[in-house]
Structure 1
């Protein structure tokens, strides 16, 4: 008689993913000058002012926040389209900010970008084949010259477009198809990291779902890591493993999707979640709405202490004097569960019924 099968041992929790990108103290200030012949700096726009995060292999980090909070500037810094004022961006342990020439070119091959607007990010005078194949002109070692046309056709097939479209121009495609072309261009060099700067914000809802599903499928097939920037909180939760909430150039709260969406502790995150429309009228009647007052401060005149204090419903005198650290709040330091995650608030507290 066969021995009865033993119950399977409980799976051990997976360890942290191997880090691909490590960002520490990232700063980007744009100088404000005065004068025509003799210019002198009178201030600076603090677009990004001390951002820290780690992106693991095969992981998706979602970045959310209001317009002007510095999300797109972070994306440009990661792809080295802008040079940081201070801080480090380490790819596989190597500081990208110190590289130049061939060394930088080699790293750029592994960090690609998908742009926000599919209507302006493609050259209207180039065919789809030339657009997707252009990275091979810059990095000829990625594909032999006689093999590039075949690779372009394969990429079109991978993103769900007919390979016969290779000789068409961008104006012959819809918005969703153009974004697929942009994704194919980003995949051409087989990168390890893709920075997606609001890749679905200009698309219809049904097309958004198609592009998001495509990105998830490609992530599994090519073991990609994403930095996914968006305004839509529901899309960010759907695709992200971890979420970082930005306000006025800094990350104010970060954690897993469950920690951020179901157990927010920073007042700004709670206000963002309460602004999301609720489709259920009964749930809408019982939710706790948070209405922020005042305008977002100018990044050229950042408030002292906590940057959110001028609009925060919890602000106290202490908030103007101390800069809150992005860490697990003291109140939850010895707590267990999803409430114990990093939050840059001196009076962090969990708040229910904001969604």
Structure 2
């Protein structure tokens, strides 16, 4: 992906806090769930940005804010330079036509009382300018064919399709208005492994055919690497490391990313036997009680006193040496260290307890 490509989506300081209240008649706010707590990234035209992280780290909340299903507490989401968080009415409706979403569950995201033709054609009812009324049925049939389904099944209902076919229906609905950006929130996590590859290959082909930019959210690191140009790693509401797929997977610098990659299964028994395994201690802190300083420090084997006092900045660590090297990418760690993973890693070690 060329660095000179146009930035189609720019996210800056994105925050989403859900208030915690007590009382019945007189409700009082006693705290908040800090689901997303300062996320920054840029999506360029024709690019796929993968976002990975543990369950509960805020990935899906970011996805919902990108398509304005959730209003951010603070921050900006700029589509072609315009902050869409400040839009409403017709202006917001026009932007939503260009940013569509593919949901995680291919069954609950489809109305069981509507036929496939009505589901895929519903965007034309909301945006009638996208297709003349007399051509909508034809457009729906074309979309079914594009995603690999039989156009003759246009009058069937979602329950008459398999999981993979239902996800294809969801993708066809997302393509109906010819958007520029598609936010895919774990689109293959509910599918069988063999079907996952089919859907990923389909999305890869559609990206070239429709000139799409993807925000691809998942927890499966291998799938994200296959489809992504750049990858952002989230932990407890923030992106802790971001870079190209080669930089993140082969030369991670943040301890959390290194721990994630060390847990990826290796199909080669010989490589698995000589692989370094990083085992984290403790649980992920509650988003209602975020640790001071670096939020990963309670589980990090590199944690020092500075980590509890200073919030690390997501930037290229200056002490990593070669500014043109693969380790020179943004990492939010005071003690970021380049580690070469490559296709396999030697040794199996249990790292020491983190410093409290």
- State the TM-score bracket (shorter-chain normalisation): over 0.9
Q: Which of 111, 114, 117 does residue 99 from structure 2 map onto?
A: 111
**Corresponding residue of 1:7:** none
Provide the rounded CA distance (Å) in 2 between the counterparts of 1:57 and 1:70: 24
**Corresponding residue of 1:70:** 58
Provide the rounded CA distance (Å) in 2 between the counterparts of 1:82 and 1:336: 38
Provide the rounded CA distance (Å) in 2 between the counterparts of 1:323 and 1:262: 26
Greater CA drift, 69-78 or 141-150: 141-150
Contact 2:37 2:237 in 1 (8 A): yes
**Corresponding residue of 2:324:** 336
What is the CA deviation profile of residues 29-84 of structure 1, one whole-angstrom value per residue up to 9, with x for unaligned ones?
00000111101111000000000000000000000000000000000000000000
Provide the rounded CA distance (Å) in 1 between the counterparts of 2:3 and 2:218: 27
**Corresponding residue of 2:72:** 84
**Corresponding residue of 2:301:** 313
Provide the rounded CA distance (Å) in 2 between the counterparts of 1:335 and 1:286: 31
**Corresponding residue of 2:177:** 189
Provide the rounded CA distance (Å) in 2 between the counterparts of 1:263 and 1:250: 20
Structure 2 unaligned spans of 5+ = 346-356
TM-score (normalizing by structure 1): 0.95
Distance apart, 1:350 and its partner CA: 1.4
Distance apart, 1:17 and its partner CA: 1.4
Distance apart, 1:279 and its partner CA: 1.2
Once superposed, what is the RMSD of the aligned Cα atoms?
1.1
**Corresponding residue of 2:351:** none
Q: Which of 14, 19, 28 does residue 31 from structure 1 map onto?
A: 19
What is the CA deviation profile of residues 153-184 of structure 1, one whole-angstrom value per residue up to 9, with x for unaligned ones?
00000001010010000000000000000000
Greater CA drift, 335-344 or 298-307: 335-344
Distance apart, 1:286 and its partner CA: 1.4
The equivalences for 1:338-353 within 5 A come to 338-353=326-341
The equivalences for 1:105-144 within 5 A come to 105-144=93-132
Provide the rounded CA distance (Å) in 2 between the counterparts of 1:322 and 1:14: 34
Provide the rounded CA distance (Å) in 2 between the counterparts of 1:159 and 1:303: 45
Q: Which of 182, 193, 205 does residue 217 from structure 1 map onto?
A: 205
**Corresponding residue of 1:158:** 146
Distance apart, 1:352 and its partner CA: 3.4
Contact 2:320 2:338 in 1 (8 A): no
Question: Following TM superposition, where does structure 1 have runs of at least 4 consecutive aligned residues deviating by more than 4 angstroms?
Answer: none
Structure 1 unaligned spans of 5+ = 1-12
